[in-house]
A and B are shown apart, each in its own frame.
Chain A
Amino acid sequence: MAEVNVNQNVVSPKKNSNSGTGALAKLFRRNDMGVVIATALLFLIFALVTDSFFTRYNLFNISRTAGLYVFIAMGQMIVLVIGGMNLSLGGIGGLVVVAAGYTMDSMGWSPWISVPIALAVGMLAGAFNGIIIVKSKINSFIITLASLFIFTGLVTGISQGFPYTEIPKSFTLMGRGSLLGVPYTFILAIVTLLIMAYVFKFTVIGRRILATGGNLEAAQLSGIRTDRIVFLCHVLSGLFGAIAGLLWVSRMGSAQPATGSDWLIISFAVAIIGGTALTGGEASMLALFASAILLTLIKNGLIMLNVNVYFEQTFLGLIILLAVSIDRIRAMLHSSTRKFGRRDATEA
């Protein structure tokens, strides 16, 4: 999965002149490798120190949760990459869950009708954000903060806090089923990441998105209709939020109106640890994927290690800090290697 940034794709392609150091060294030089290495290390540590880590049930659970995190993070990544943010992502998720639950439970409709309606609700909510941001020119932080209240209010108003439990059994296939032991949710997440990596790397629209986030004015001057891009990204954010919400309903077999209440931190943590620049113009699907697994692994590992419940949050913070420091160490190693390389070349 490609690491893409506006500097590489639009402004000035990043080409490393130090070729010939081997494929592994090339891989190591990639900006998104830090989180991948951290994830691999953590995976190894937990596998070695805990007995139950490598059980089929645990791996199934980890991969499924990571799959869900990927969609939540993509909902945030797609607006971060244009230099915006979506604080209402959890509200959109809740709204979609209620839409799906209401249509399937209260209305008794088939999932074949409910799912498109729920997806449309998610995209409409995203479009609502997008249109106001574009037309009012107000910062997305303020607009999505306001819409978070609107969506959350609608969720509680419609559901009155009650879960919808009469969800058809067939609908749980996606959330609970697997192909050769790999959860469908995880497979769907990988496929979506591959599509997004392709879009960013090889399509015009992908490059326009990155350009808009990298430098808005330059993008406008180069003829990109940035308003349309902003609107599109918010619709996509709503769509990813909707998919995450539906996957959650499918996994639970019920529609809980409180769904999405803790998505804000997950969406930012996974997206930013996963290499999405807060300033926009940069995103890596590989790092986002690794970051989703990393966060899931940490939460899973803390329970596997049976850490003291009172200090759990402290351990969580420390491991995240350690994981992100690996990326810093990698970057430092990389820059010092380059310095030595240049010196050698000069001396020669």
Chain B
Amino acid sequence: MYRKLSKPLLLLVILMMVLAAALSACSSEEPAPPPESKPAESEAPAESKEAAQPAESEAPAEKEAAEAEEKTAEEAPTQEAAESEAPAEAAPAQSEYKLVWYASAPHPYFEEVLKGVEAFEQEYGIPVEKQIGPDWEQSSQNERVEALAAQGFTHFSIYPSDASGANGLYEELTQNGIKVVNFGASTMQPTTASFVVATDVKAAAMQATEALIQSMGGKGKIINVLEVLEDSNTVLRKEGVEEVVAKYPDVEIIQEISGMTSVEEAVEKIGNALSANINEVDGIIATGFTTSVGIAQVLSEYYDTGGDREIHAVGIDTDPTVMKAIEDGVMDGTIAQNPYGHGYLSLLALKYMADGYEPVEGVYHIDSGAAFVTKDNLDTYADDIMAVTEQIKSELTTKYLEK
């Protein structure tokens, strides 16, 4: 009996030891560095993580000075911040702010947003609880956000995993006096979220379509690559593309494809659509992240394998694969959103609400702006987006919030 049980028990003990070791390793170590080729370094206007944390090899004196400087930055907001803040007597102490930033799952986009969150923390000296969930399921988001609310956090900046499903969570939170701001994407209307800090998806789709048609010389046939039809944003993007195309009598959408949740699926479907229309297609437009990566991959491959038809392409977001395709001349451009602003501005709006500000009636959408990236402005487009962030920041307590 004991002999029979000894093997499984031993295995169980080994497994538990491995698990304990893994958990302790994960909690004490810095995460592994992401690939060097990510665009974050070139794109993000904020200081990088490395810059914020002095290197170990620094001279002790320099290190101390840097630490002192960092401490000062944490303790006191910058002059600029102080000027734009609410009166000091009304504002809670920095430690009393209970702010949370919550992202659905590990993703390059959230890494960019995180930079804005960290810049906010550094500039205002207010700590923010930053959490990245395990997946894109609304149920996972509910569990984790509810746990954070139970810990006493009162102001949440959340990327809604499900545009409709997140409203249920928000209703419960706001009923308990908790303030929520969406970043990156909006929940379905009506919603109890105070704001959404995001790109105007329809406007971005229209801008991308306009750019594509211009690159095609105002005429030709287009494949419209949509992401997932269940997403309400996809419907808006579809409308945006179709509205612009309708303005050009010589432009026609010859095929529309959708239902792509992974890059593999996108590559297969876009490849198929290209095959089906290879003798007549002049342009491809994608208005989703995954599909843009798919276009970059398919077209790179098409030209690498000897494809000679000139096919113009415009996508959205700044995934390294897309940026490389633009650099190589495979794609004409992409719409860069403002992930830094999504993080920074959503937290700033929450801080103001904690200071006693209320949203201006009827104002919900804070358009974080977008820039069209081409081969020519690959290195400078981030400055344009940063300017938009500064503009919104200066208008936050006048246009969007009031006391």
A interface residue numbers (CB < 8 A to B): 50, 52, 55, 57-58, 60-61, 65, 101-102, 105-106, 132, 135-137, 153, 156-166, 172, 176, 248, 251-254, 256, 258-259, 261-262, 299-300, 303-304, 306, 309-310, 312-313
Contact = CB atoms under 8 A, between A and B. Distances in A.
A303 B255 CA distance: 9
A164 B37 CA distance: 7
B54 interface: no
B276 A52 contact: yes
B275 A304 contact: yes
Contact of A306 (B32, B37, B255, B321): B255
Interface stretch (B100-108, B214-222, B244-252): B100-108
A160 B31 contact: yes
Contacts of A252: 263, 267, 297, 301
Given A162-B108, A262-B262, A52 B277 contact: yes
B320 A248 contact: no
Of the listed residues B31, B256, B271, B293, the one surrounded by the most CB atoms of chain A closer than 10 A to its CB is: B271
B34 interface: yes
Contacts of B305: 60, 176
A61 B276 CA distance: 11
A156 B35 contact: no
A162 B259 contact: no
6 contacts: A105-B35, A105-B36, A136-B11, A163-B293, A163-B319, A256-B264
B12 to A, nearest CB: 8
B8 A136 contact: yes
B330 to A, nearest CB: 11
A162 B304 contact: no
Contact of A251 (B111, B276, B301, B321): B301
Of the four ranges (under 10, 10 to 19, 20 to 34, 35 or more), the interface on chain B belongs to 35 or more
B139 interface: no
Interface in B292-335: 293, 297, 300-301, 304-305, 307, 319-321, 324
A49 to B, nearest CB: 12
Contacts of A163: 35, 108, 293, 319-321
Contacts of B324: 165
B37 A176 contact: no
Contacts of B304: 172, 176, 253
A261 B262 contact: yes
Interface string B132-155: 001000000000000000000000
A17 to B, nearest CB: 45
Given A176-B301, A256-B293, A164 B111 contact: no
A295 to B, nearest CB: 11
B72 interface: no
A52 B194 CA distance: 51
Contact of B268 (A105, A157, A299): A299
Contacts of B106: 156-157, 159-161
B261 A52 contact: no
A101 B36 CA distance: 11
A32 B11 CA distance: 42
A161 B35 CA distance: 10
A261 B105 CA distance: 14
Contacts of B205: none
B32 A157 contact: yes
A310 B324 CA distance: 32
B257 A309 contact: yes
A52 B11 CA distance: 57
Contact of B275 (A58, A137, A159, A312): A58
A159 B8 contact: no
B108 A262 contact: no
Interface of B: 7-8, 11, 15, 26, 31-38, 105-108, 110-111, 134, 226, 229, 255-259, 261-265, 267-269, 271-279, 293, 297, 300-301, 304-305, 307, 319-321, 324
A132 B272 CA distance: 41
A162 B35 contact: yes
A259 B226 CA distance: 20
B35 A159 contact: yes
A262 B228 CA distance: 15
A190 B120 CA distance: 56
Given A61-B271, A132-B11, A176-B305, A310 B229 contact: yes
A102 B304 CA distance: 24
Contacts of B321: 163, 165, 254, 256
Contacts of A137: 8
Nearest to B107: A161
A166 B37 CA distance: 7
B37 A105 contact: yes
Contacts of B8: 135-137
A251 B298 CA distance: 10
Given A137-B8, A161-B107, A165-B35, 17 more contacts: A61-B271, A106-B35, A159-B106, A164-B35, A253-B297, A253-B301, A253-B304, A258-B262, A258-B263, A259-B264, A303-B255, A304-B272, A306-B276, A309-B226, A309-B257, A310-B229, A312-B258
B35 A101 contact: yes
B279 A52 contact: yes
B114 to A, nearest CB: 10
A300 B275 contact: yes
Contact of B259 (A55, A102, A258, A309): A309
B257 A303 contact: yes
A252 B26 CA distance: 31
B277 A162 contact: no
Contacts of A259: 263-264
Given A105-B37, A254-B321, A161 B278 contact: no
A262 B265 contact: yes
A58 B276 contact: yes
Nearest to B261: A262
Nearest to B110: A161
